[in-house]
Amino acid sequence: MNTQIMFGCAIFSISSLAFAQSPPANDNCSNASEIYLGTTAFTTIDATTDGIAHPECTTSSDGGQTAYDVWYSYTVGASGTLAISTCNSVDYDSDIVAYLGDDCNNLTLLGCNDDGTGCSGYSSHLEVDVYFGERITIRVGSYKDTTTPGGGDIVLTLHDANGDSITAPENDDYTDAVSISEGDWHFTTDGATTDGDNHASCEVSGDGGETAHDIWYRYLAPASGTITLSTCDQANYDTDLVLYEDTGSALVLVACQDDTTGCGGYTSTLEAVVDAGNEYLFRVGGWSDGFSGTGILSVSLDAAAVTWIGSDGGSWFNQANWSSGVVPTAAVDIVISGHVDINQSGAVANSVTVQNGGELTLSTTSSSLTTLNLTVEAGGNLNWQGGTINVSGGSIDVAQDLNIGCVNEATLIAKESYVYVAGELTVCEDGTLISTSWIFAEGLTNLGTIDIASVNSEIGYIWVFGDYNQFSSGTIIIDLNGTETAGADYDYIAANGSTYSIGTLKVRSHNGFQPSNGDVFTVFDTTSATHDSSFSVVEPTSFNAGISFIQSSTSDGVSISAFVTPI
């Protein structure tokens, strides 16, 4: 049928005309819709394809691509096996992909399925193991771009190791409260019951002081101070927060909060004073019955510094050695005037200050300390016998020489950090410096390995405000991800003192980058220094066969140019 419709001077011809439609709201990963256990209707009609192909998911030569995809985000309320299914519930040939995480630029593939066993119409069924508090990104689309999009229902179910269905979060009841510390915690109250009391003092807008569909967390205060709990602008429903002290025989109400000024969507922020060594319960729920959803609970502590009170050589991990009576967490500032031994992995703090007469020892190769700021004052000592110190995003300030890996294997991770050393910084043969940083020292000597690596393993640089000397056993690793700008497209190191560089320059491909013949990269900038040497070996790694690099060394530094031999 061909029909002509005239409006004024315009003639519109309609012949089985399909009007352009808007794509689904969750067409792109960045606009993923929140999804819960149960059945959710969806459509991929008019969806585009923005997800990448996964060769390991290839079915019938489709290249592993999931076409015309739409996206969902799921918060795991209980550990188990998550089944994601369009089996017998869609009208087209579907694909399902599941990822760990919700950062669209940093997703980890968990699994994929095109045609589920026993599923008609080439519909799909996928099962993946998931763990409490994780965020799972779900991608639903078509077998390939020649497949007509469609729609139907996607069904999510969760079951335990025995195959029994899980419908409520594992911290649904206060007796099953999950222990947490400071940080951001993804949560869901979907399927949660209400087991906490109503509190008249917490009543808002006639809700009777109820906190409905509640879940529970347990917290041991690592120091005395002010704790802040917040879902402010971080939840998709009207939240309630309640804080209790657990005395062992009763839960004592400390504070509660429903709607906080400045927080959208009736979300909440609660502040209260806590005492070191006391246990508290956090209750997260909704304004009244019927209000549930997902979000992030942020926990922060503004606390007084904690001091070492243990005997010399005592373990960091013995709670009795700290003035708080609690092993420090990442929120706590630490002051050390005695001798402390980190004799295993897992030591954390917001900051660590080793005062005059104090000593901090990392005594094993498995020892580790993660802190934003490590300061060793004059008269203090860092006795680094092995293990790892991580000050990424912060600083290390040492009023002495700093030796890495001179006794046993040791690593300093200082990504996007400041490194201050009053004397010499030496990376010994068993030492590794993983860093993008500004290094202030009399000199940096590399006998081991320096790996220029930024947060999330992105491109970066090291600036040495002092001398740089690399000897025959030393290796420096730089990554190439492009040709345009040093520090943005490829790694480099710079110095403003005298420089001497032999040993190995290892060149790695980043994100699969492959240079073209003649591409030039200035990897060692000595325009503010004196330089008259070159690396003994330039070693390419993870590049295509036939790619090598030719080194050019001048007083301004070292550059490498790509040489591509046809294979």
176-230, pLDDT tens digit by residue? Answer: 999 999 999 999 999 999 999 999 888 888 888 899 999 999 999 999 999 999 9
Torsion, Cα of 317, 323, 324, 330 (10° steps): -50
Residue 324 backbone phi and psi in degrees, to 5: -80, -15
Q: How far is CA 80 from CA 36, 111, 258, 445, 564, in A?
A: 15, 15, 32, 50, 50
pTM confidence score: 0.84
By percentage, how much of the chain surpasses pLDDT 70? 96
- CB half-sphere exposure, 428, CA atoms < 13 A: 14
Task: Read off the pLDDT of residues 15-45 as tens digits, 9 standing for 90 and up.
Answer: 333 445 799 999 999 999 999 999 999 999 9
- Backbone φ and ψ for 529, nearest 5 degrees, come out as -135, 180
Question: Which three-class secondary structure state does DSSP give residue 121?
Answer: helix
| Mean pLDDT of the 480-484 span | 95
Give the H or E element holding residue 108. strand 108-113
**Structural contact between residues 294 and 236, judged by C-beta atoms closer than 8 angstroms:** yes
Residue-level pLDDT at 206 = 80
Rounded to an integer, what distance in angstroms lies between the CA atom of residue 66 and that of residue 51? 7
Q: What is the pLDDT of residue 427?
A: 99
Partners of 418 in the beta sheet?
395, 438
Per-residue pLDDT at 9 exceeds 60: no
Cβ–Cβ < 8 Å for 26, 71: yes
d(CA 4, CA 15): 9
CA 438-387-309 angle, 5° bins: 95
pLDDT digits (tens, 9 = 90+) for 408-459: 999 999 999 999 999 999 999 999 999 999 999 999 999 999 999 887 778 9
C-beta of residue 365 within 8 angstroms of C-beta of residue 404 = no
Q: The tokens of 390 are what?
A: 């991580």
Block residue for tokens 């006639």:
206
Report how far residue 415's alpha carbon sits from residue 459's, in angstroms, rounded to the nearest whole number: 11
Kindly state the tokens that stand for 34: 């929140």
Tell me the average pLDDT of the chain.
94
- 548 vs 563: CA distance, rounded Å: 5
Q: How far is CA 422 from CA 355, 493, 494, in A?
A: 15, 21, 19
Contact 280, 219 (CB under 8 A): yes
Q: Is 254 exposed, middle or buried (0-12, 13-18, 19+ CB in 10 A)?
A: middle
Residues with Cβ within 8 Å of residue 23, at least 6 apart in sequence: 46, 47, 48
Rounded Cα distance between 201 and 220, Å, is 25
Largest Cα separation within the chain, whole Å, is 95
Which string of DSSP letters, residue by residue, matches 36-58? -SEEEEEE-TT----SPP-GGG-
- Give 83's DSSP letter: E
222 exposed, middle or buried (CB, 10 Å; 0-12, 13-18, 19+)?
A: buried
Judged by DSSP in three states, 226 sits in strand
Q: How many CB atoms lie within 10 A of CB 276?
A: 19
What letter does residue 117 receive in the DSSP assignment? T
Q: Could you tell me if 434 and 442 are in contact, meaning their C-beta atoms sit under 8 angstroms apart?
A: no
CA torsion through residues 187, 190, 195, 196, sign: positive
Q: What pLDDT is recorded for position 20?
A: 52
What are the pLDDT digits (tens) for 278-308?
999 999 999 999 999 999 999 999 999 999 9
Can you give the pLDDT at residue 15? 36
H/E run at residue 381: strand 381-384
| Residue 246 structure tokens | 């657990």
Q: Among all chains, which residue has been given the structure tokens 């519909």?
A: 123
* Cα–Cα distance list, 40 to 47, 66, 114, 152, 508 (Å): 17, 19, 19, 8, 45
Q: Give the integer Cα–Cα distance in Å for 391 and 348.
A: 10
Of 181, 166, 195, 182, residue with least CA distance to 284: 195
Judged against a pLDDT cut of 50, whether residue 320 lies above it is answered with yes
Task: Say whether pLDDT at 7 is over 60.
Answer: no
In this prediction, residues 148-164 reach a mean pLDDT of 96
pLDDT recorded at residue 18: 43
pLDDT tens profile 88-140: 999 999 999 999 999 999 999 999 999 999 999 999 999 999 999 999 999 99
Using an 8 Å Cβ cutoff, are 41 and 61 in contact? no
pLDDT for the residue 183? 95
Structural tokens at position 193: 């019951």
3-state secondary structure of 34: strand
CB 321 within 8 A of CB 308: yes
Of the listed ranges 11-20, 72-81, 516-525, 545-554, the one predicted with least confidence: 11-20
- Contact in structure between 69 and 140 (CB atoms under 8 Å): yes
In percent, the amount of the chain with pLDDT more than 90 equals: 89
420 class by beta-carbon count within 10 Å (0-12 exposed, 13-18 middle, 19+ buried): middle
> What are residue 219's phi and psi, to 5 degrees?
-140, 130
